[in-house]
Structure 1
Amino acid sequence: MARTRIADAASSLTPRGRCLVAAGVTLGLLGALLGERALVQVAVFVLTLPVLSAVGVARQRFRIATRRTVTPARLPRGEDADVLLEVANTDRRTGGLWVLTEQLPAELAARPRFVVERLASGATAPLRYRLHGGRRGRFSLGPVRLRLVDPFGLVLRTAAGSDTATLLVTPRVRPLQGSGALAGAGGNGGEGARRSIAVHGEDDVSTREYRYGDDLRLVHWRATARTGELMVRLEERPWRAAATLFLDARLPAHLTGGRVTGPAGDPAAPPDTLEWGVEAAASIGVHLLRRGAGLRVVTEGGELTPSLGRGPLGPEELLERLAELGGSRHAGLQAGAEALRRAGVDGPAICLLGLLGPDDVHALVRARSGPGTDVAVLVDAAAWLDAGAGRGRRPLAPAARAELVSRQQQAVDLFRSAGWQVVAVRPDQSVDQVWDQLGGPLPSAATYGAPAVSAAGSVGGQVPA
């Protein structure tokens, strides 16, 4: 027990306190060896000072309460947030010299340090600092680490709280215009397409079975009496635009090493291809959802659903799920393609992809064995590599680079042969620029003079070796 107390006392000394103890011990030894009583007296005084400081710090009692206000609590990547940390002294006595350090993730900011001296009982000290959301994710702020220091700076005592706050850094949402890929969807639910029902008389009106939530004023009583089941009229109404958003978030499929320069004038451009894809998914998804489109979001691991239960994603739920989406270790897109097939949305599929192989392309094409109205947004591998992106800390060898670029071009050719619209993304292109390219009519297989997709979903013709 004595050894433990000695170790605790030694560990509470600051570097200044350790130096003072070493000086006192040295003076005491010299005084004893030389027979100098004055040196021994000085040594006793020097050694007494850290002891008195340690006793004073150990006797300090404190009770504090902290509260954090983060503005905003949901922060787009690349922007700043302000934090108000309120420290209240809930003890009946006045506090001593407190050194407060806020525990923060390194991705947000350096740990701020504050000095609060003699905070009165019941008083509150407002402390402010700023965070920079340089990376997506859900981050914990706090707890506060309190350090009690004596006036001479010889002894230090630390204690940590347990209260924390949360900051959610979401992907940026770039403002988009128009309907993009939905503009060419035609009968698949593009914006502005309408379903017109010709009504030539009461007997020719189209009807269907009553569903829970239908307006009772639309009940068609004559059809109900004829069929014996409750029937409602189908009136002319607009189609609801629909689409499926597919995001390839596999780490092996992206160039995440190095640091690239994005579009001019963008201080927080995506640093790698994965972040570009996540930002594109957030921007396109929020844009379509706010325009009333029926959207399903799928990744290589399956469909994204709200955190609380099932149902369609809203704009805020989509940003929350994408904020916490990390790169996966899936080898291929087979599982994601199956989830894309199960989504079964009539509108086009907008696929945000990384580096692909022929098997990945075939899996996606088979999952969408329908009209050629789908879109593949791929990484322009050569442009990203030229801009400084890589697949690790070391640059790619010339042979590996050539093979990677060649495989990506094969993927582009395969998608085009299947009738997909293909856009290759460069690092100097923003999401809104790519979205504008998707606003034209979607090409069919005949546009490229290539075979169409068979009923089984396989691409006709031969796959480049």
Structure 2
Amino acid sequence: MARGARLTGRGWAMVVIGLVATAGAAIAGERDLIWVTAVPVFLPLLSLAHLTLDPPRITHRRTVEPATVAIGESARVVVEIRSASTTQAAALRFTDHAPAALGDGARFGIARGFGSWRQDVGYTIATTQRGRYQIGPLAAEATDALALARIRVAAEGPATSLRVTPHLWRLGSLTASPRLGAADATPQRIGQAGSDDVLVREHRHGDDLRRVHWKMTARQGDLMVRLEEHPWDPSSTLVVDTRTGAHFGQGPGSSLEWAVSAVTSVAAQLTEGRHRLTIVSPAGLACDPGHTLGEAALQLVLEAMTDLTSSEETWLGAAVADPQLLGASATIVAATGRLTAHDAAALAAAGTRALSRVALAPDVEAWGGEPGEHADALRLLRNHGWTVELYGPRTGVADAWRRATT
């Protein structure tokens, strides 16, 4: 689609000079000079008419490799441009449009002269924000050979999609950590059959005293608790805190993006181990791969976490208020923003039946805030058996995870 042709600054200058010269020749009575002075007037107009009647005919095909990248990585864009304009003499200037998060696209020129031609142009784009983006359209600007008039056209061809996922950190093994329930994989069994055939393990801080098995405690000499469920269920619930008011910073360096990256990385590690998982946020269910396992489950997670947006919810407990979403998860991992005592109480209640509970929470002072109620909330979580690890703006997810699970 061509936009209206217009004169350039040089074209307007020639028109004005020609008109002035023509008027001067007419006033002086030099009629023979009028034909000469009229040339600077008509030449830009002829150029304008040429571009209007025969605009450049440009088509293109764009490829992006890879079509999916993690935030911070680069992608290579190659644009195959074809021109069917046999009368285009001047260089064409192109703008391949893209969102600001991808660097606003690219600008380049091609000078091929008369005749049809084909040209491939490549450039690299850096990604700074997760999401789905459209690259395109491709716009071309053409002038006549003397640059007296110009016209802008949109090259025919589809826009191209690019998916920017959260950064995936390579984490340590989940089940190898004693803090994440590995010790519960082989609990002690007492009794031989029937109602006495139960499983026990050592008491942990935060366990309900009603689950203490007193006979086994007397026999072992250590406080032992009864496992009323199966000793280990390869299912996990991940909580990602998307509350706008609970986070610090903006853009890719914000605590929200840190939390999203952390949950996505943990989910990737779980799916690699063929765990079943559910991801919840204060806005509701974020991702539930169901019985899908392995690489297929990871792709579902990446799709969901790429599109995850911040919410206006004020209570983190909304993420864990539905017991059906929690199910009988063996592990609960929460990547949070600033917490209140109300938030911590909801997490503590949700984790009472889980074998392992990990919270990755912001170091408020490192983010430039005042701890206030946040410190009390973290203390409450620790008192209920949660492993709490703080993260700052420069903390790597892998480092925080290693400290939390060893």
Which bin holds the TM-score, normalised by the shorter protein? Answer: 0.7 to 0.9
The match for 1:81 among 65, 75, 85 is 75
Structure 1 residues 303 and 274: CA distance shift in structure 2, 3 A = same
Secondary structure of 1:22's aligned partner? helix
Does residue 1:374 correspond to 2:357, yes or no?
yes
The match for 2:159 among 131, 145, 164 is 164
Higher normalized strand content (fraction of residues): 2
Q: Is the 8 A contact 1:181 1:375 kept in 2?
A: no
Instruction: Give distance in 2, aligned partners of 1:192 and 1:31.
Output: 103
Secondary structure of 2:352's aligned partner? coil
Does residue 1:285 correspond to 2:251, yes or no?
no
- Opposite residue 172 of structure 1, the aligned amino acid is H
Instruction: Give distance in 1, aligned partners of 2:167 and 2:323.
Output: 25
Q: Deviations over 1:28-50 (max 9, x none)?
A: 34444555657744541111110
- Opposite residue 297 of structure 1, the aligned amino acid is I
- Opposite residue 55 of structure 1, the aligned amino acid is A
Does residue 1:424 correspond to 2:390, yes or no?
yes
When structure 1 is superposed on structure 2, of 340-349 and 25-34 the one drifting more is 25-34
Structure 1 residues 25 and 371: CA distance shift in structure 2, 3 A = same
- Opposite residue 340 of structure 2, the aligned amino acid is G
Residue 173 of structure 2 aligns with which residue?
Answer: 178
Residue 227 of structure 2 aligns with which residue?
Answer: none
- 1:435 Cα deviation from its structure 2 partner: 0.9
Instruction: Give distance in 1, aligned partners of 2:189 and 2:377.
Output: 42
Unaligned runs of 5+ in 2: 193-229
Across the two proteins, how many residue pairs are aligned to each other? 361
Does residue 1:336 correspond to 2:325, yes or no?
no
Q: Is the 8 A contact 2:60 2:157 kept in 1?
A: no
- 1:86 Cα deviation from its structure 2 partner: 0.5
Q: Is the 8 A contact 1:178 1:439 kept in 2?
A: no
Residue 372 of structure 2 aligns with which residue?
Answer: 406
- 1:72 Cα deviation from its structure 2 partner: 0.9
Secondary structure of 2:372's aligned partner? helix
Residue 252 of structure 1 aligns with which residue?
Answer: 245
Residue 138 of structure 1 aligns with which residue?
Answer: 132
Does residue 1:127 correspond to 2:131, yes or no?
no
Q: Deviations over 1:247-269 (max 9, x none)?
A: 00111111124x9xxxxxxxxxx
User: What's the % identity of the aligned pairs?
Assistant: 28
Instruction: Give distance in 2, aligned partners of 1:342 and 1:74.
Output: 29
The match for 1:318 among 278, 292, 301 is 301
Does residue 1:438 correspond to 2:404, yes or no?
yes
Unaligned runs of 5+ in 1: 1-7, 201-236, 260-269, 386-400, 441-465
Instruction: Give distance in 2, aligned partners of 1:180 and 1:328.
Output: 32
Structure 1 residues 155 and 94: CA distance shift in structure 2, 3 A = closer
Instruction: Give distance in 2, aligned partners of 1:150 and 1:306.
Output: 58
Structure 1 residues 375 and 320: CA distance shift in structure 2, 3 A = same
Secondary structure of 1:107's aligned partner? helix
- 1:322 Cα deviation from its structure 2 partner: 1.4
Does residue 1:415 correspond to 2:397, yes or no?
no
Secondary structure of 1:124's aligned partner? strand
Relative to the length of structure 2, the TM-score reads 0.78
Residue 113 of structure 1 aligns with which residue?
Answer: 107
Structure 1 residues 422 and 305: CA distance shift in structure 2, 3 A = closer
Q: Is the 8 A contact 1:180 1:437 kept in 2?
A: no
Instruction: Give distance in 1, aligned partners of 2:235 and 2:283.
Output: 22
Secondary structure of 1:381's aligned partner? coil
- 1:362 Cα deviation from its structure 2 partner: 2.2
Q: Is the 8 A contact 2:95 2:106 kept in 1?
A: yes
The match for 2:286 among 304, 310, 316 is 304
Relative to the length of structure 1, the TM-score reads 0.69
- 1:332 Cα deviation from its structure 2 partner: 1.9
Does residue 1:16 correspond to 2:14, yes or no?
no
